[in-house]
Amino acid sequence: MADKRRYPRKVVRVRVKFQVGTGAWAEGYSRDMSLGGMFVVTNAPAPFGGAVLVVLHLDSGHEITVQSTVRWTEPDGMGVQFAMMGARDTHALTQVLLAAPISVPEPR
């Protein structure tokens, strides 16, 4: 199966918190990431198609808050697609991704 992502995934592990609607905040961490989205390792994945507010805690101290959509789930987490980000957040995420190794796509 071909990987249809627009941006290459990179191995990036940062703390993540997320909220579905007005529900409680849940936590996890990123397994891999691109400018288009990421996989969040968590024991509380949101449902497929759900809108989630995601906060990334970058090592630089910068926090990125981005509205996202759950595109797939697994027992250990979820893949989310990012909505539009502002210029500062896009720049901060780009800097993290430039320094990270390329992730090898996992078979599904």
Total number of domains constituting the chain: 1
The confidence score (pLDDT) of residue 103 equals 63
Confidence of residue 107 (pLDDT cuts 50, 70, 90): very low
The confidence score (pLDDT) of residue 1 equals 43
Interval 1-25: pLDDT, tens: 445 656 778 999 999 999 998 889 9
pTM of the model: 0.86
Kind and range of the H or E run holding 98: helix 87-98
Instruction: Provide the CATH number for the domain around residue 60.
Output: 2.40.10.220
In a domain, 73, yes or no: yes
In a domain, 9, yes or no: no
In a domain, 107, yes or no: no
- Residues of the domain holding 72: 15-97
Q: What is the DSSP string of 5-74?
A: -SS--B----EEEEEETTS-EEEEEEEEEETTEEEEE-SSPPPTT-EEEEEEE-TTS-EEEEEEEEEEEE
In a domain, 1, yes or no: no
Measured CA to CA, the distance from residue 12 to residue 58 in angstroms comes to 10
Interval 43-102: pLDDT, tens: 999 999 999 999 999 988 999 999 999 999 999 999 999 999 999 999 999 999 998 877
In a domain, 28, yes or no: yes
Cβ pair 50, 70 in contact under 8 A: yes
SS3 (DSSP) at 102: strand
